[in-house]
Amino acid sequence: MSTAKVAITIDEGLLSQLDMLVKKKVFANRSKAIQEAVAEKLERINNYRLARECSKLDVEVEQSVAEAGMGYEVHEWPEY
């Protein structure tokens, strides 16, 4: 994966905590720590979006579609 350099402004208190974690070898360096934090936040946002979209589904309709589809294809499933 390619990387790009960026400049950020960060609260001094957060930076102190970050530096403490780097010093304790929790992270290799500031960049790795910030990269992991951004990746984790983006994953949470994406998971929240998925959960929000799933909550819009009608459970009864989805269940009936799944059951209808399974009944239709069962005879085509391979024997194990």
Q: Residue 20 in 3-state DSSP?
A: helix
Q: In terms of residue numbers, what domain contains 35?
A: 12-76
Is the residue at 2 inside a domain? no
Is the residue at 25 inside a domain? yes
Is the residue at 3 inside a domain? no
Is the residue at 70 inside a domain? yes
Is the residue at 17 inside a domain? yes
Is the residue at 48 inside a domain? yes
User: What are 10-61's pLDDT values in tens digits?
Assistant: 999 999 999 999 999 999 999 999 999 999 999 988 888 878 888 888 888 8
Say what the pTM is: 0.60
- 26's CB contacts (< 8 A; 6+ apart) are 33
Is the residue at 59 inside a domain? yes
Tally of structural domains, the chain:
1
Contact 25, 19 (CB under 8 A): no
